[in-house]
């Protein structure tokens, strides 16, 4: 039975992890301690550098006889190098590709941009990871090579009732993959019944752990959960009384979200945005800049992060509400991709994330001056408009309107 998402529940132990430098060792340690099964989803799975360490942990687990299932996106992840394909297959790792493209021309087809953008992992049904970090080395980019500084991103390690919800979401998506054969579907469906096999964790009976951390899982898909993540942002921003602090890699909010930020600033809330300052992709980089004008006029402060790529999708509001996940605040994430965010109501967790974001803003952020923005060169304005037109055309091809 599917559980409703978005409901805050107590009894969680959470650990904030920054970058692959913290995430991958925690992930590998969990995999090495696993006794039954590992489920992993990632938009990108890259075997360069420390990404290979995660692959090795999956291989070790499968060789111990565990059920290891990996689902990657057909656009974000290239075919694994042949040596790794052979190693993982020999070990028994089950590897599936979500919506493989076959040909890049398929990107023009309606629905082809509905990608798997979630970054999730569940180990033995008792420990989960949810965030924005791909299986990708902090200092490596598939398109740009070696980075000058680590990519800025976050993930949360989770124990508590939400682990069962994350596991169920991953299980349901796995069962819908064409590469999962009928007998495997039947076996997995039976294994998911409330009475698990002896020695296997009872996922459906996950109990609250000591503590009072309240958290919720927010999913975005094209069926029942089309707007849950955006609605959560809108509610939290609408209730803000002191501070809205958002770090987002690809920031192109629609009218409702943009107005919510502007109204918050106009009623005296300090609204600060930490956004991508380094060029990564033409459309995402240039299409976002035209929205700066109305935000700056409303009193929103915008800081751009340029030492490396900003990949975070996090927010802290009034020092207590926080979210960490895979969803950018742009139409590709909010309208098309499968996403997963955690929402947390806890002053200690929110404070840790807030302090780190403020440190980045203070030391590595470049604040956008409204006067300089208004005087930016005509060439920049032309590229911005072109980027926005390309984004709108891309959405139109997919049958979507947002901007």
Instruction: Examine the residue annotation and report whether 400 is marked as an active-site residue of this protein.
Output: no
CA 156 to chain centre: 11
Q: How far is CA 7 from CA 137, 252, 258, 342, in A?
A: 33, 27, 25, 11
Query: 317-354: buried (b, 16+ CB within 10 Å) or exposed (e) per residue?
Result: bbebbbbbbbbbbbbbbbbbbbbbbbbbbbeebbebbb
Instruction: Examine the residue annotation and report whether 330 is marked as an active-site residue of this protein.
Output: no
Instruction: Examine the residue annotation and report whether 313 is marked as an active-site residue of this protein.
Output: yes
Tell me which of 138, 165, 313, 330 is the catalytic residue.
313
Tell me which of 12, 119, 225, 303 is the catalytic residue.
119
Instruction: Examine the residue annotation and report whether 73 is marked as an active-site residue of this protein.
Output: no
Residue 253's nearest CA partner among 245, 243, 244, 262 is 262
Tell me which of 141, 318, 330, 346 is the catalytic residue.
318
Tell me which of 117, 141, 153, 303 is the catalytic residue.
117
Residue 112 · residue 191 · CB < 8 Å: no
CA 187 to chain centre: 30
Residue 161 · residue 205 · CB < 8 Å: no
Residue 318's nearest CA partner among 389, 235, 249, 262 is 235
What's the alpha-carbon Rg for the chain, to the nearest Å? 21
Q: Is 359 left (phi over 0), alpha (psi -120 to 50) or beta?
A: alpha
Instruction: Examine the residue annotation and report whether 143 is marked as an active-site residue of this protein.
Output: no
Instruction: Examine the residue annotation and report whether 346 is marked as an active-site residue of this protein.
Output: no
Q: 93: which residues sit within 8 A by CB, 6+ positions away?
A: 58, 59, 62, 68, 69, 70
Residue 245 · residue 272 · CB < 8 Å: yes
Tell me which of 124, 141, 153, 221 is the catalytic residue.
124
Q: 314: which residues sit within 8 A by CB, 6+ positions away?
A: 132, 154, 246, 247, 248, 322, 323, 324, 325, 353, 357
Residue 21's nearest CA partner among 150, 184, 161 is 150
Q: DSSP assignment of 179-212, as one string?
A: TS-HHHHHHHHHHTSSSPPTTS--GGG--PPSS-
Query: 209-242: buried (b, 16+ CB within 10 Å) or exposed (e) per residue?
Result: eeeebbbbbbbbbeeebeebbbebbbebbeebee
Which residues are marked as active site? Answer: 117, 119, 124, 311, 313, 318
């Amino acid at each position: 039975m599917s559980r409703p998402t978005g409901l805050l529940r107590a009894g969680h132990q959470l650990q904030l992890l920054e970058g692959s430098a913290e995430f991958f060792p925690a992930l590998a340690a969990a995999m090495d301690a696993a006794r039954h099964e590992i489920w992993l989803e990632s938009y990108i799975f890259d075997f360069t550098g420390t990404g290979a360490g995660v692959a090795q942990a999956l291989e070790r687990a499968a060789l111990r006889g565990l059920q290891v299932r990996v689902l990657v996106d057909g656009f974000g992840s290239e075919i694994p190098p042949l040596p790794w394909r052979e190693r993982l297959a020999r070990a028994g790792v089950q590897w599936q590709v979500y919506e493989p493209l076959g040909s890049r021309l398929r990107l023009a087809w309606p629905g082809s941009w509905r990608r798997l953008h979630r970054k999730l992992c569940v180990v033995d049904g008792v420990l989960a990871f949810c965030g924005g970090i791909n299986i990708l080395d902090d200092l490596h980019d598939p398109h740009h090579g070696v980075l000058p500084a680590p990519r800025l991103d976050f993930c949360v390690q989770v124990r508590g009732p939400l682990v069962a919800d994350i596991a169920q979401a991953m299980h349901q998506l796995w069962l819908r993959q064409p590469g999962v054969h009928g007998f495997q579907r039947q076996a997995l469906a039976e294994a998911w019944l409330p009475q698990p096999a002896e020695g296997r964790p009872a996922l459906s009976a996950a109990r609250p752990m000591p503590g009072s951390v309240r958290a919720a899982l927010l999913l975005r898909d094209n069926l029942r959960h089309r707007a849950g993540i955006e609605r959560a942002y809108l509610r939290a921003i609408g209730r803000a009384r002191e501070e809205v602090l958002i770090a987002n890699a690809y920031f192109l909010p629609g009218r409702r979200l943009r107005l919510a930020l502007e109204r918050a600033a106009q009623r005296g809330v300090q609204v600060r945005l930490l956004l991508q300052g380094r060029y990564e992709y033409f459309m995402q980089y240039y299409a976002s800049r035209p929205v700066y004008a109305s935000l700056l006029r409303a009193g929103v402060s915008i800081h751009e992060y340029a030492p490396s790529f900003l990949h975070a999708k996090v927010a802290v509001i009034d020092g207590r509400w926080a979210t960490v996940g895979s969803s950018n605040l742009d139409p590709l994430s909010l309208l098309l991709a499968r996403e997963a965010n955690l929402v947390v109501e806890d002053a200690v967790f929110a404070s840790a994330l807030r302090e780190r974001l403020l440190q980045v803003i203070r030391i590595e952020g470049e604040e956008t001056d409204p006067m300089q923005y208004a005087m930016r060169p005509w060439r920049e304005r032309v590229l911005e408009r072109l980027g926005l037109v390309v984004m709108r055309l891309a959405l139109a091809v997919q049958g979507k309107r947002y901007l």
